[in-house]
Chain A
């Protein structure tokens, strides 16, 4: 399956600032999943987007799936130190359910 490109690779913000990470694919995606990995931890599922143009919110997190289903974004409003970690988008790798991960965006938050 095609890779998913994720930008930026790193993001340093002051606590209270907003943060956005973007995930792009050259091919149409059936769905996109987002995971968060805390430092020293393992990936934890955040959300899955399936429909074109879909927008989902989890408290301060807003997830979007593009109209063409080729891109997605995760936006965090008013970051907190608890938001620190690496955020990965992932696409499914084909008929099987294995995931193809982007390289992630590592977020650091300065208190």
Chain B
């Protein structure tokens, strides 16, 4: 079946604006993760959803960041009042059960540029 999809692929916004990034996980995968990759850097964990459980928000860098997952499938990452340091590639991944031994499948990412 189809892999993880993300939209938009690129987003340019002005400082102070809000943005929404979307992730469609692989069908049937119960776990969904958001990561952030700054230029030339590794991946930074942001938030994790598992089924209907409360999300693990421990990686969110500030209260300007929030995420939802509707119906256990599609997820939206929202960044309010964007700052230039928010510029990065935002990657979504999904896995079958969220077990620590599960393979995570990554989407192509959304490249966010805050001017």
Contacts and interface: CB of A to CB of B under 8 A. Distances in A.
B46 to A, nearest CB: 9
Contacts of A53: none
Interface string A98-110: 1111111000000
A45 B56 contact: no
Contact of B100 (A43, A88, A92): A92
B111 to A, nearest CB: 10
B87 interface: no
Interface string B34-66: 010000011111001010000010010000000
Given A30-B100, A42-B107, A44-B106, A96 B91 contact: no
Contact of A48 (B50, B101, B109): B101
A25 interface: no
B106 A42 contact: yes
B42 A31 contact: no
A88 B59 CA distance: 19
Contacts of A44: 106
Contacts of A90: 43
A104 B98 CA distance: 23
Given A88-B42, A102-B42, 12 more contacts: A42-B109, A43-B43, A50-B101, A92-B100, A97-B31, A98-B56, A98-B59, A99-B35, A99-B43, A101-B42, A103-B41, A103-B42
Q: Which 4 A-B pairs have the closest CB atoms?
A: A92-B100, A103-B42, A101-B43, A42-B106
30 contacts: A31-B100, A31-B101, A41-B108, A42-B107, A42-B108, A42-B109, A43-B91, A43-B106, A45-B103, A45-B104, A45-B105, A88-B42, A90-B43, A92-B101, A93-B45, A96-B50, A97-B31, A97-B48, A97-B95, A97-B98, A97-B99, A97-B100, A98-B33, A98-B59, A99-B43, A100-B45, A101-B35, A101-B43, A103-B41, A104-B42
